[in-house]
Amino acid sequence: MKKSLPTLLFFFILTNCYAQFQTEDKGTIVTLKVAEVSTGEILLSQHEELRLTPASLTKIITTATALELLGPEFTYSTKFYALGKIKKGKLLGNLLIKSSGDPTLGSKYFEQTKPEIIYNSLANALNMAGIKSIDGTVVIESDKINYSAPRLWEDMGNYYGASPQGFNWRDNTAVLTLRSAEIGSTATLVSLEPHIAPYTVRCLAVAGSHNKDSAYVYGLKNLPEWWIEGSIPPHRHKFRIKSALPDPAQAFKNGLEDFLRNRGINISHNPPLHAASTEQITLFTHQSPPLSGIIKTINQQSHNLFADQLLLTLGKLFKGTPSWDNGNQVVREFWLNKISFEDNFRLRDGSGLTPKNLISASGMVELLIWMEQNSKNFAFYAQSLAKGGETGTLRTTFKNPAIKGKLIGKSGSMEGVLGYCGYLTTLSGKKTAFCILTNNYIVPTKQIREKIDQIMTGLILEK
């Protein structure tokens, strides 16, 4: 360990924290690096070359790459057309929607993307075009996206593991309401929003002897029936859990048909009378929020879908196909001549959901310093990060009043994994880039988080 900081109290705290890591769980691996941004001087290091599973720290790499290659003003476009002829208020043809893979369409995180806004914009456009009914159906043109091969089966049916699709809708998330009775009895599925027909969901979850959500949803797009396992608290009239959407495009169509029907516009689903017509009438184009807003949601809310869609977008725009391999290749090629990428990173997705990703604290600090020193978009990048004790996934950590707001960054966690990276400014005014990452612990995560909080707090308080 290189001791550039002189305060003996700080080193006592640091040494004590490492000792407690090992005392409480001897199998825990800890890697740490802290370096001054302006000079690159290493202020603190511990096993910084070890490559560990990063969980959501992966998003730091994905968002930095996308920001540099696409720019903060980049947006996705979703285009809506009437395909056919309009005769006496009837569209003799289909509604055509061309998707660019916008992950924010229908998302709850932006006011302009909420489902009712999208549906209402289309209804108004149909009204402006004089269309009172549709003698056809809804057709969505989009890229075919494969599932991420290294993604865990236990994640794929749950909301946080919702996979990007060619057409994304409502964060690719469904809300399921369950009802439970006495302990040990099978819970009942009361409702599901949005409407996902023709898919069905079977509830196998039971009422447990606890007060937490321990229910998990299992399913894939090509399985007509999904199911719920695990347990929920007993005697709950309405207990809500979330799952991935089996087919976001179908859920969009179901909701759109209901919305238009309530506005007096019916869709017949009949073969259009003039199916051979190639007349294409532009209704409207929906633009996503800018990339600067998307990456802020990714880094502050740890939004897996948005991050993975950005990776696939990089693959499509720079390699021609929105595949996981292409996206990761774009990331690799961007960083190869800027930092020691090959020695420090192995990436398999954009969000960190797969445990097959590997990073080192040393490589992450290199990347963070490069962004601070070289990126013309750094202000947007810094604004996307959460503030310790204040915002995003860091709002409940680093809450010591003396350090509040002096650390910005990203957290990452999964079973046996907890890490933090970003920038912190000491009370003496030194701006540093840091990464601390732990793997393979089996003690409660709360204990690991408290030790990391002590280390970071001690470093900021260093004068």
Tens digits of per-residue pLDDT, 165-190? 999 999 999 999 999 999 999 999 99
Residue 3 lies inside a defined structural domain of this protein: no
Domain check: are 206 and 189 in the same one?
yes
**pLDDT of 7:** 44
Structural tokens at position 84: 């056919």
> Are residues 69 and 178 part of one domain?
no
- Domain assignment present for residue 91? The answer is yes
Query: At which of 288, 303, 335 does a domain end?
Result: 288
Residue 377, domain CATH = 3.40.710.10
Q: What is the band of 405 on the pLDDT scale with cuts at 50, 70, 90?
A: confident
Sorted by sequence, the CB contacts under 8 Å of residue 305 that are 6+ apart come out as 103, 162, 163, 164, 168, 171, 172, 351
* Boundary of a domain, candidates 248, 272, 288: 288
The answer, yes or no, to whether residue 239 has pLDDT greater than 90, is: yes
**Helix (H), strand (E) at residue 138:** strand 138-141
Q: Is residue 183 part of a domain?
A: yes
Residue 115, pLDDT > 50, answer: yes
Whether pLDDT at 13 is above 60: no
34 shares a domain with 155: no
Q: What is the pLDDT of residue 14?
A: 56
Query: Would you state the pLDDT for residue 273?
Result: 55
Query: Do residue 264 and residue 296 come from a single domain?
Result: no
Mean pLDDT of 102-126: 97
- 278 and 309 within one domain: no
| Same structural domain, 136 and 274 | yes
Considering the domain architecture, whether residues 257 and 390 belong to the same structural domain is answered as no
Q: Which of 235, 263, 288 is the last residue of a domain?
A: 288
Same domain, 346 and 403: yes
Whether residue 455 is predicted with pLDDT greater than 70 in this model: the reply is yes
Q: CA dihedral in degrees (7, 3, 52, 292; nearest 10)?
A: 70
pLDDT at 279 (0 to 100): 84
365: domain range? Answer: 8-73+291-461
pLDDT at 198: 95
Q: Is residue 307 part of a domain?
A: yes
Pair (376, 391) in one structural domain: yes
Tally of domains within the chain: 2
**Same-domain status, 244 and 160:** yes
Q: Identify the pLDDT of residue 253.
A: 96
Question: For the segment 63-83, what is each residue's pLDDT rounded down to a tens digit?
Answer: 999 999 999 999 999 999 999
For helices 445-461 and 8-24, the axis angle rounded to 10 degrees is 170
Instruction: Tell me what pLDDT residue 370 has.
Output: 98
Instruction: Tell me how many helices (H) and strands (E) the chain has.
Output: 12, 22
Same domain for 298 and 374? yes
Let me know: does 232 contact 239? Beta carbons within 8 Å: yes
pLDDT tens string 264-312: 999 988 775 554 456 899 999 999 999 999 999 999 999 999 999 999 9
What is the predicted pLDDT for the residue at 26? 79
| Domain-embedded: residue 59 | yes
Q: How far is CA 219 from CA 154, 205, 222, 303, in A?
A: 9, 15, 8, 20
Q: What is the percent of the chain with per-residue pLDDT over 70, rounded to a whole number?
A: 93
Res. 21 pLDDT band, cuts 50 70 90? low
Q: Are residues 406 and 274 in the same domain?
A: no
Mean pLDDT of the chain: 92
